[in-house]
Amino acid sequence: MPSARTPAPSEPLEPRRLLAASPLLIEGTEGADVIRVRQTGSAVWVARNGSLRVHAARDVSSIVVEARGGDDLFIADPSVKLPVTVYGGDGDDHLRGGPNRDRLHGEAGADRVYGGAGNDQLYGGEGTDTVSGGDGDDVLVTLGGDADRLAGNGGRDNFWADAGGTDPATADALADLAAGDVRHAVPSFMSYRIRQSGSTYRTVPVPTELAGQELDDPVAAASVTRWADVSDGPLFASGGPSEHDIDQNLAEDCYFMAGLSSIAKLAPEVITDNVVELGDGTYGVHFRREDQDVFLRVDGDMPASGSGALAYAGLGEERSAWVPVIEKAFAFFRESQGTYVSINWGKMSEAYDALGLPSLGRIFSTTGFDRDGGLLEGIAMRLARGDSMLYSTLDVQPQGSRLRPDHILMIDRVIRNDAGQAVSVVLRDPHKNDGAVVADGVNDGYITITAAEAAAWMEAVSWCRL
């Protein structure tokens, strides 16, 4: 930063011709750079190696730093309200974020990465790194390479660290942990087992080193004509995962999608705790199988149609990618067949089981709700205590049914009349549309049915105490 004794050269506010704010790119050199950023109400000040430049704040949507080689120092002043993304490059770098939602990548070298305030995403990269979250709910990733040191500091932090695998000397050390922190000690990623012709399979090891590798994909349907990379968009929308992100499409995996929809609505932290951006265009997913931890890594290539639309689970709000990411991981995990067809048809419990949630309760007859005052009252009681609930339809639906046969939907809410009686229930179809009949004029997947219809069209109702 400039000092009173030796003022640094400066430039006037830059005239910008852009109609909308855009990212401000700051590039370092192959030497040891010192880059500091601060912000006033109307200006962003960038000091780089003693030279000061001033940018109109209204023209800047975010700050992106490419530090390149050398042992670099980057500091975002607490006055910086814009989100900051920093790529340290080679060298032993020291990166300090600001108070916003920052993404700091140490990359190669023995780096020190400090998030500061805000909900940050912090990546150590190659080398022996020290990564500290600071205040806020941070994600800290130090997979691959040498033994790193991680500290959560304030907030509810999410750690993805090396467990050491076959070499305990490479295990990462975690410190300054809080009771609410989430720790994923990853010994290795599950190898892909991908079905070939007939009953033959190919086994593909998946590395823990995060170098942007193009990973293998599950076998998709013959109708898939291309693969679309979704890694240039967010994993989660700015408001986090929600039921509105679920859009089932080609796979017959309503059992999985409906469960995810309800979990995202009621306990979105279950999703954000177990699905993560690994910082190199790939993603980590933590599943459980019979109380055993299973870690999967997938890239952002998703099956698509000729138009570019995703063939299986679609993108969510703000083009968030978590649903196709977790579905792709599930295609490797569920039957170890590495195909999308292997996730067709399943049990209502499978999304909950895969994410380590409690076992489901289930009733197959409306008489099972008699002690609760009837079907809708039983549903209302469980929703009121925070249960995640699903509704399964009969294989053959009665005449006049507006629900898909042999299908599973999320139970959203119960509607009462002015007298307080439960008269109807609102379901959400994971296909994100109402099917053949759009009774309310809005084809959004929310379907309201009466108590009599709910009883006549039901195969089962299940619930999970989240």
- Complete DSSP assignment for 86-119: EE--SS--EEE--SS--EEE--SSS-EEE--SSS
Average pLDDT, the chain: 94
What number is the average pLDDT over the span 278-285?
98
Of 64 and 439, more confident: 64
- Among 321, 320, 302, 322, which residue's Cα sits nearest to residue 312? 302
**For the whole model, what pTM was predicted?**
0.93
Distance between CA atoms of residues 205 and 197, nearest Å: 20
Residue (of 352, 343, 326) closest to 410 by Cα position: 352
CB 79 within 8 A of CB 36: no
Cβ atoms within 10 Å of 41's Cβ, excluding its own: 7
* pLDDT-based confidence at residue 107 (cuts at 50, 70, 90): very high
What is the mean predicted confidence (pLDDT) over 412-430?
98
Residue 132, amino acid: S
Q: What is the pLDDT of residue 83?
A: 95
Q: Alpha-carbon distance 260 to 68, whole Å?
A: 40
Helix (H, G, I), strand (E, B) or coil at 151: strand
Over range 58-84, report the average pLDDT: 97
- Name the pLDDT band for 17 (thresholds 50, 70, 90): very low
Q: Mind listing the pLDDT tens digit for each residue in 43-53?
A: 999 999 999 99
> 169 in helix, strand or coil?
helix
Task: Tell me the per-residue pLDDT of 245-271, one tens digit each, with 9 for 90 and over.
Answer: 999 999 999 999 999 999 999 999 999
| pLDDT 10s digits, 121-151 | 999 999 999 999 999 999 999 998 789 999 9
Give the lowest-confidence range in 89-93, 389-393, 433-437: 433-437
Quick one: pLDDT at residue 20? 84
Is-contact 295 183, C-beta < 8 A? Answer: no
pLDDT at 2: 34
Reported as a single tens digit per residue, the pLDDT across 306-327 is 888 999 999 999 999 999 999 9
Q: What letter does residue 65 receive in the DSSP assignment?
A: E
Nearest-angstrom CA–CA distance, 61 and 137: 22
Question: What average pLDDT does the segment 434-447 reach?
Answer: 94
Average pLDDT over residues 363-369: 95
Position 34, amino acid: V
Residue 43 bridge partners (DSSP) = 56
Shortest CA distance to 402 belongs to which of 373, 427, 419? Answer: 427
Give 41's pLDDT tier (boundaries 50, 70, 90): confident
SS3 for 369? helix
Q: What is the pLDDT of residue 19?
A: 56
The pLDDT score that the predictor gives to residue 131 is 98
So what's the pLDDT on residue 18?
45
How would residue 22 be classed by pLDDT, with cut points 50, 70 and 90? very high
> What pLDDT, on the 0 to 100 scale, is given for residue 307?
87
How does pLDDT run across 179-195, given as a tens digit for each residue?
A: 999 999 999 999 999 99
Per-residue model confidence (pLDDT) at position 451: 97
pLDDT higher at 174 or 8: 174
Q: What is the pLDDT of residue 438?
A: 93
Q: Beta 201-204 vs 192-195: how paired, if at all?
A: antiparallel
Is 301 in contact with 328 (CB distance < 8 Å)? no
pLDDT score of 170: 83
Query: 330, 291, 284, 289: which is closest to 188 by C-alpha?
Result: 284
Average pLDDT over residues 235-243: 97
Contacts of 301 (CB under 8 A, 6+ apart): 214, 217, 227, 228, 229, 230
What mean pLDDT do residues 421-441 have? 95
Residue 390 has pLDDT above 70, yes or no: yes
